[in-house]
Amino acid sequence: MAKLIAVFNIKGGVGKTTTTVNLAYLAASYGYKTLIWDMDPQGAASFYFRVKDKVKGGLNGLLKSKKEVYQRIKGTDYRNLEILPADQSYRLMDQELRNARRKSARDVRNILKPLKDEYDVILVDCPPNLSESVAGLISGADFLLVPAIPTILSLRTVEQLFKFMNTSLKTRPETRIFFSQVEKRRAMHQEIIEKFILKNSDFAFHTLIPISSELEKMGVSLEPFPKTSPSHHITQLYQMLWEEIESELALTRPSILGFSS
């Protein structure tokens, strides 16, 4: 049974898609049969994997049946890693779900439900908004990973997210925050991180992903960073982040395969 990991923040530009792509690649390289659902209609995760952000029949196609969902999954260039692409119809997801004829089709979680026996890990790159569909997806996830930049405004959105989860979700997943785009030379970043982790040690990861022009090159290479730079210290940090997730979810690696080719 797959572990469903939602990667989400209300605020955009915090490294959500970069994180999803790199963690999915690492999970697959460690032997986990991995699926990404690019739920964000902007389609950045699909772009990184050179997959067209188009789903046959749009969202309605995904709501028809288990068979229809399977037929819309695309392979990638990497072993153990597949993707359910983005589609512009996802922009109207809340409306389409409410209007679905079958009651079961009105719950976004049921899109992935038939796939959970086929994968070890499913990562969802959620759009940066608290829509009904995103809230439903989060409430059905096994784990919520929240990337945040160490700034006051970024942490304010994290507080808003937690307030929403505590007041509006009947079920809440295990949740962890980690800091991305960290500038270690900035005293303010260090101060914010130290205070936050000290105050919120129960739901804060310790791995810090630095801001880096090297990560920005993913948009040129269209490959996960650990694939192009397996020995880079940032790759090692993503490995550490994945290991923290493995520990929280009690995942056991199927095998150590090294990096996929």
pLDDT digits (tens, 9 = 90+) for 149-203: 999 999 999 999 999 999 999 899 999 999 999 998 899 999 999 999 989 889 9
Residue 143 forms part of a structural domain: yes
Question: Which CATH number characterizes residue 16's domain?
Answer: 3.40.50.300
Look at residue 256 in the predicted model and tell me its pLDDT: 56
Residue 221 forms part of a structural domain: yes
Strands of 63-173, DSSP E: 74-75, 81-84, 121-125, 143-148
Distances (CA, A) of 78 to 48, 49, 93, 227: 12, 9, 29, 10
User: Would you state the structure tokens that stand for residue 82, as one six-digit string?
Assistant: 């597949």
Strands 34-38 and 81-84: parallel
Question: What percent of the chain has a predicted confidence (pLDDT) above 70?
Answer: 95
Residue 94 forms part of a structural domain: yes
Q: What is the mean pLDDT of the chain?
A: 92
Number of structural domains in the chain: 1
- Compute the distance between CA of residue 42 and CA of residue 88 in angstroms, rounded to an integer: 8
Please tell me the pTM assigned to this model: 0.93
Residue 260 has pLDDT above 50, yes or no: no
